[in-house]
Homo-oligomer: A and B are copies of this chain.
Amino acid sequence: MLSLHQLRCFLTVYELGSLTAAADELGYAQPSISEQVRSLEKSLGVQLFRRVGRGVVPTTVADTLRPHAEATIAAAEEARRAVQRVKAFETGTIRFGMFGSARLYVSAGLVTDVLERYPGVRVEIIGLNSSEVMDDLRRGQIEAALIAAPPTSEGLEVLPVARDEMVYVSMDASRTATPVTARRLAEARLVLADTSYRATDSMRTALRKMLHEAGHNPQTRIEVEDVETAIELVGRGLADTVVHQGAAKELVPRLAPGASWTSLRPRQYETFAIVHRVNATLSPAAQLMIELAVQRIRDVAEPL
């Protein structure tokens, strides 16, 4: 079987024209080199050197082999170097899971933080919705994530880090003058985001529970995919919505100027947490990501 060691020995012998010299160069005994060369010749089925009196002379086959041997060794070296660079965070890809509206709080800033500190790396932020991200976590596609704390979390370890209140947003100031009760919520014309994940979305779960406890039936008039769209619709006066306060602060001035918001009654919170598989040993990259993400989210939401 062809091996890198054989090729290294071959090249040194080729350059120096002597087994003994090659042995000195590589720090082995001469017979070891002799054996490596012989096994390489046997494995290829050709003679690489003519043993001629004092020293050895490469054959034409050796001439053919040399550049390829060099290329192979170089490729292996490059492989090792590439890995070391990644290890030192000089390059490579860091994957981190994050739920939809979390990107409003932290993602841009987080990415720039990482890029600033490690200019060579590529960062991937994965996932739109918490439940989606959790599936990826269980499958091992993602090492760790920052998501809205889920009610069910089998096989996953959850570390709450902050919470954010859910607020009612409307263009009609009279509707945000006082906290919104379950009854008023049930009567409102609502637009909610994250349509595709209706069943599992944690904010919807919370709302549903609140309405249900008050004896109302949850019904949404408009469903859209992302928070921005929802708030834009509010801005046009077509509906009201319920979003995280952090999202409201960030988006309302831009997308729905003139709109205002208020708490729900009782107040509803969504908890943000770092989540990863139980018993997982986290890579340094993931640990860094977590540290920075936690730092940022605590600036905009209520720390726990």
- By a beta-carbon cutoff of 8 Å, the part of chain A in contact with chain B is 1-5, 7, 44-47, 50, 52-53, 57, 59-61, 63-65, 68-69, 71-72, 74-76, 78-80, 82-84, 86-87, 91-95, 139-141, 143, 277, 280-281, 283, 285
Contacts and interface: CB of A to CB of B under 8 A. Distances in A.
B50 A64 contact: no
A95 to B, nearest CB: 6
Number of chain copies forming the complex = 2
A175 B57 CA distance: 51
A143 B50 contact: yes
A2 B52 CA distance: 33
A194 to B, nearest CB: 27
A46 B44 CA distance: 34
Nearest to A81: B68
A210 to B, nearest CB: 36
Given A50-B280, A72-B79, A140-B50, A61 B2 contact: no
B143 A2 contact: no
A45 B86 CA distance: 11
A87 B52 contact: no
B92 A61 contact: yes
A93 B64 contact: yes
Contacts of A76: 2, 4, 7, 72
Contacts of A71: 75, 78-79
Contacts of A83: 44, 46, 61, 64-65, 68
B61 A68 contact: no
A86 B57 contact: no
Given A47-B283, A86-B60, A140 B52 contact: yes
Contact of A68 (B7, B78, B140, B141): B78
27 contacts: A1-B4, A3-B5, A7-B79, A44-B80, A44-B83, A46-B86, A47-B281, A50-B280, A52-B139, A52-B277, A57-B139, A57-B140, A57-B141, A59-B143, A60-B92, A60-B94, A61-B87, A63-B93, A64-B82, A64-B86, A64-B91, A64-B92, A65-B83, A68-B75, A71-B75, A72-B75, A72-B79
Nearest to A43: B80
A139 B57 CA distance: 8
What are the nearest 8 A-B pairs in CB distance? A52-B140, A68-B79, A57-B140, A72-B75, A60-B93, A71-B75, A75-B75, A72-B76
A46 B283 CA distance: 9
A57 B277 CA distance: 13
Contacts of A47: 281, 283
Nearest to A122: B60
Contacts of A79: 2, 7, 65, 68-69, 71-72
Contact of A4 (B3, B64, B80): B3
